[in-house]
């Protein structure tokens, strides 16, 4: 019995660690800053996609996505950004990305996302680009 309990607790702990993501949305003048932390994968991407789509559908068409605290991104995570980009462009909006760590930077580079999206080394630069 104890073995089963320990196995269950072990699974729950690792499931939380591997599938943990948080999203914070902040208002800045005429734009929204979406900060994503943790892992953006097949298990967590539906929540992120829903929140970003709600922002866009709510009339927010200038969005900066801050990836400073994003540890990992899978193809499912990349896909939500493509879907969000398609949706926001219908309203003449744009999405900017900033604050990449080495791992996420490599994924964006290899996947060609740097050719699709404007990207910046820091949040301040991404925000300023909207005001030019």
Give me the pLDDT at residue 99, please. 97
Residue (of 50, 61, 71) closest to 96 by Cα position = 61
Of 54, 14, 5, the residue nearest 34 (C-alpha): 54
Can you tell me which residue has the tokens 């990992």? 72
List average pLDDT for each run of 10 residues in the chain, which is 132 residues long. 43 50 91 96 94 95 97 95 96 95 95 95 94 66
The pLDDT assigned to 29 comes to 78
Which residues, including other chains, have CB under 8 Å from residue 72's CB and lie 6 or more apart? 39, 40, 41, 103, 104
Query: What pLDDT does 131 receive?
Result: 78
pLDDT at site 15: 45
Domain ranges of the chain: 2-130
**3.90.180.10, 3.40.50.2000, 3.30.750.24, 3.30.70.260: which CATH number matches 2-130?**
3.30.750.24
How much is the pLDDT for 8? 41
């Amino acid at each position: 019995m104890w073995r089963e309990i320990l196995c269950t607790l072990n699974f729950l702990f690792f499931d939380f660690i591997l599938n943990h993501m948080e999203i914070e949305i902040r208002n800045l003048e005429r734009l929204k800053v979406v900060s994503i932390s943790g892992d953006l994968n097949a298990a967590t991407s539906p929540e992120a996609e829903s929140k970003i789509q709600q922002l866009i559908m709510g009339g927010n068409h200038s969005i900066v996505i801050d990836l400073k605290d994003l540890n990992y991104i899978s193809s499912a995570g990349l896909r939500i950004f493509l879907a969000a980009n398609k949706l926001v462009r219908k309203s003449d909006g744009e999405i900017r990305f900033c604050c990449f760590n080495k791992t996420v930077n490599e994924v964006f580079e290899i996947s060609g996302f740097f050719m699709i999206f404007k990207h910046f080394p820091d949040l301040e630069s991404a925000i300023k680009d909207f005001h030019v």
